[in-house]
A and B are shown apart, each in its own frame.
Chain A
């Protein structure tokens, strides 16, 4: 134990060593999620290194990063991007992001090397995924005082569960859900969606929602739409819904059935002028203590076993976080694990099919 303490002290001293007061630009998602990152990563990192962190907000995807790199004169301004794993797969293949190796990562507090501590598949050639979040369905309790939606099929059943549906204007999760509503096993979802027939069935199911759709694009919108009564059911990130429930006492309930698991992933922008500082940040932010700290502020599950052991109560309340994570065993039973490679490779196809479906919608449903 003595030895580990020495190692930790040495690591802290190394981190605290003065670096020129540089500015690290981190691109991330805003809202409650960014607040949790502020508390767990940004503020402590600034304190430890003296560097300044500048935040740029975005809503995912690679278009902005591509545009940024294309227009940058000299080194790009962006250094670190928090992206979903499928985007990281694509960005890596396109050379938009730099390599990250396990030697860039800190071992667990008990000395377990990172590759044994992280979930399998979360450390890639250019990325490290730090937490599991899910895209799931939630509903406004006030809209369904009697019979409650319980399964994914209920989302598409506007006859039994009338009311507007808030959906992300993007072919993410919604195609899986549409197919799951035909009772196909979740293990087969991506194999079935790979066929013309599967895609047609999925869009046919989406047609059920015609005239009942409101669109969202940023992660903090769905809880707000449920609270304001603009939508009766919404897709959204589980952490945002939890935040609204825990912080604002919002009358929102989750439908975990069909939750789509994905990873939030740190990447370092290719050609970044602050590569060393960027890697230092990734190392700092993926330490077990910091990951556990973030999970105390938003209900996303750390990808490190050593971090999951350290999660406590929500912020300063009495709500134990474990039961609200997407990785809680009872939520996992009906979870869909996103097929990241498939997602990355079918991006254009899904976008194309989705766009042509959007065109077929009545005027009131158009974004």
Chain B
């Protein structure tokens, strides 16, 4: 067997094992996580199923509604303070960042802390989502596996993607959506090397969820098909309106943290306060508590809600979710987006039903269109959204209707906001994926890493002649001028030295500053600024104290660019 073939067999073995191992572990963790939340909801009187069993002691139910989310909030704040080094919730953006840049994700301890905080938040009925924490749980398990030394350079990305795919596949009971989500949102490429183990992991998740633990499909609804062709125009309309709701929701979410930061309340008390307000609202509208699975189902039943109720619930759910996330509860935004979307969809359906009572296909299809229109721009994954609908409803007709809504919704939301909430959050943290991952990675490479201190420099006080001699013998035409303190003064160009007088000093012959980068300059900026550059090298100078950090040649910048692009190209086209 040749060496290449042996490497191939080795890779296939490792990647299959990673797919199975990470898939099984992430899936089991996801099942455990979801079961624990349900158990907590039951014990803490958050779920209606538990609350109704105490309807003869209404005082107890009211007390639980007010106090459980508030107490949970205080606990969450403590976990964030003492358990998470980053002092914030970890979620899909962190997974995306680790996979896209190959950088180490947040520590395992932080990951566990964030998962615990999410468990408490969701268990106590905070209006946050469970899929964000589940995605991070998959990331955490993928991250643990990548520590094993298998000698594959892209193992971290692949095993994180496997963990995420298995978590999604298990939680939604949707293996195809798991695969698509891992590629569309996390990996952002479709190489066979990643695709194979991710698919294995997703299938393992599905097998565990269905065969071993027998979890029921999440969202089987009955639908007889779209009755009138023109309704597809209405679905597109639902898509556009859904996008507006999604954009408002995402804008408020990105602003909510800043708004909360301005409040003069200690951080340790903020989630507790949000919990109390949530409880107060829940006394009137119990649907806003937790994930709201019951309301999700009722939204597909004709006449379960009145028009006014639907509108009130959409607004209330947006408000409490923004408040919970902004004030520091830990959790995702996907489940709330599902609920907001489906309620909005039901509202659209009920409106159409009122205007054209005999000419519409029932509330189900509008509810599903609304749901997809709102959640797909939030996660920025139209393909995943379509797959989720297909796998959850197992209905071709509903999927095609939802597809129309998704396309229009994503078009509008992309224009108005960006690709997804995750991408905008990452962009706010300086990692902008909106114009491709190569640009984002180049924008995260600091030019200082390419700085070269070995090239000849000149001192301002030395004789010009000496400096030029040194340049000549090094075959250079210019040199940065740096004094004894390391401060940068400018550039000395051999061709433009005006005098060759014996007493001429370098100081008097500096020909300007030349092209200067600083410690914040990224590889991308450097490439942009070097477009019209003629010369040997650009200087890298500390913007704070003008200290010279090295020089960088055009060849080094282009070389680094080619290296990065090549790594990406290899990763994106890797076969097994």
A residues with a Cβ closer than 8 A to B are 182-185, 187-188, 190-192, 194-195, 197-198, 201, 204, 341-342, 345-346, 348-349
A190 to B42, CA, bound (A): 13
Closest to A187 in B: B216
Contact of B217 among A182, A185, A201, A349 (CB under 8 A): A185
- Contact assessment for A194 and B297 in the assembled complex, using a CB-CB cutoff below 8 Å: no
Per-position binary interface string of chain B over residues 43-85, scored 1 when its CB falls under 8 Å from any chain A CB and 0 otherwise: 0000111011111100000000000000000000000000000
Q: Which residues of B contact A194 (CB under 8 A)?
A: 47-49, 51-52, 294
By the criterion CB–CB under 8 Å, are A346 and B55 in contact? yes
Rounded to whole angstroms, the CA-CA distance of A188 and B216 in the bound complex is 9
Contacts of B298 in A (CB 8 A): 192, 195, 197-198, 201
- Name the one of B52, B220, B221 contacting A349, with C-beta atoms under 8 angstroms: B52
Jot down 12 A-B pairs with beta carbons below 8 A, ordered by A.
A185-B217, A188-B216, A191-B47, A191-B48, A192-B294, A192-B298, A194-B48, A195-B286, A195-B294, A197-B294, A198-B298, A201-B301
B48 proximity list for chain A (CB < 8 A): 191, 194-195
**Chain A residues within 8 Å of B304, by CB:** 197, 201
Inter-subunit contact B301/A184 (CB<8 Å): yes
Which residues on the B side are within 8 Å of A191 (C-beta)? 47-49, 293-294
Decide: A346 and B294 in contact? CB cutoff 8 A.
no
B301 (CB) vs chain A CBs: closest residue: A182
Q: Which residues of A contact B569 (CB under 8 A)?
A: none
A184 to B53, CA, bound (A): 21
Rounded to whole angstroms, the CA-CA distance of A183 and B304 in the bound complex is: 13
User: A342: which of B49, B293, B294, B303 is its contact (CB, 8 Å)?
Assistant: B49
A102 to chain B minimum Cβ distance, whole angstroms, is: 26
Specify which of B216, B222, B297 is in contact with A192 (CB 8 Å cutoff).
Answer: B297
Distance in Å: Cβ of B383 to nearest Cβ of chain A: 26
Bound: A185/B47 CA distance, A:
18
A183 touches B293 (CB 8 A): no
Bound-complex Cα distance A348 to B294 (A): 22
What residue of chain A has the Cβ atom nearest to residue B215's Cβ?
Answer: A187
Chain B, 208-230, CB within 8 A of any chain A CB: 216-217, 220-222
In the complex with contacts A185-B216, A195-B48, A342-B49, A348-B56 CB distance below 8 A: yes
Report A-chain residues with C-beta under 8 Å of the C-beta of B216: 185, 187-188
CB contacts (< 8 Å) of A348 on chain B: these are 56
Residues in B whose Cβ lies below 8 Å from that of A346: 52-53, 55
Closest 9 CB pairs of A and B: A345-B53, A194-B48, A183-B222, A194-B52, A187-B216, A194-B49, A195-B48, A191-B49, A182-B301
Q: Closest chain A residue to B218 by CB distance?
A: A185
Q: Is the CB of B297 within 8 A of A188?
A: yes
Chain B residues numbered 284-300 whose CB sits less than 8 Å from any CB in chain A:
286, 293-294, 297-298
Instruction: Give chain B nearest CB distance to A157 CB in angstroms.
Output: 15
- Note all chain A residues with C-beta closer than 8 A to B55: 346, 349
Residues of A within 8 A of B47 (CB): 191, 194
Are B217 and A190 neighbours in the complex by a CB distance under 8 Å? no
Whole-angstrom distance between the alpha carbons of A187 and B220 in the complex?
Answer: 11
Q: In the complex, are the beta carbons of B294 and A198 less than 8 A apart?
A: yes
Residues of chain B lying within 8 A (CB to CB) of residue A342: 49, 52-53
CA distance A187 to B298 in the complex (A): 14
What CA separation (Å) do A191 and B51 show in the bound complex? 10
Report how far A188 CA is from B215 CA in the complex, Å. Answer: 12
Q: Whole-angstrom distance between the alpha carbons of A256 and B56 in the complex?
A: 34
Q: How far does the Cβ of B362 sit from chain A's closest Cβ, in whole Å?
A: 11
Look across to chain B and name the residue whose beta carbon is closest to the beta carbon of A200. B304
Please give, as numbers and ranges, the residues of chain B lying within 8 Å of A197 by CB-CB distance.
294, 298, 304-305
Residues of B within 8 A of A185 (CB): 216-217, 220
Inter-chain contacts of B54 with A (CB < 8 A): 345
Q: Complex: how many Å from CA A183 to CA B54?
A: 28
Starting from the known contacts A192-B298, A201-B301, 13 additional A-B residue pairs (CB-CB under 8 Å) come to: A183-B222, A184-B301, A188-B297, A190-B49, A191-B47, A192-B294, A195-B52, A195-B286, A195-B298, A342-B52, A346-B55, A349-B52, A349-B55
Given contacts A191-B47, A195-B286, A184 and B297 within 8 Å (CB-CB): yes
In the complex, which residues of chain A have a beta carbon less than 8 angstroms from the beta carbon of B221?
A: 183
Distance of A183 Cα from B301 Cα, bound (Å): 9
Instruction: Determine if B53 and A341 form an interchain contact, defined as CB atoms under 8 angstroms apart.
Output: yes
Q: How far is the CA of A342 from the CA of B42 in the complex (A)?
A: 12
CA distance A191 to B305 in the complex (A): 17
Bound together, the chains give a CA A307 to CA B348 distance in angstroms of: 55
**Distance between A261 CB and nearest chain B CB, rounded to angstroms:** 16
Could you say which residues of chain B place their CB within 8 Å of the CB of A349?
Answer: 52, 55-56
Residues in B with CB closer than 8 Å to A204 are: 303
Q: Could you tell me the distance in whole angstroms from the C-beta of A347 to the nearest C-beta in chain B?
A: 10
A-side contacts of B53, CB under 8 Å: 341-342, 345-346
- Whole-angstrom distance between the alpha carbons of A238 and B47 in the complex? 33
CA distance A198 to B53 in the complex (A): 15
| Shortest distance between the CB of A327 and any CB in chain B (Å) | 17
Bound: A359/B188 CA distance, A = 62
Please, which residues of chain B bring their CB within 8 A of the CB of A184? Answer: 297, 301
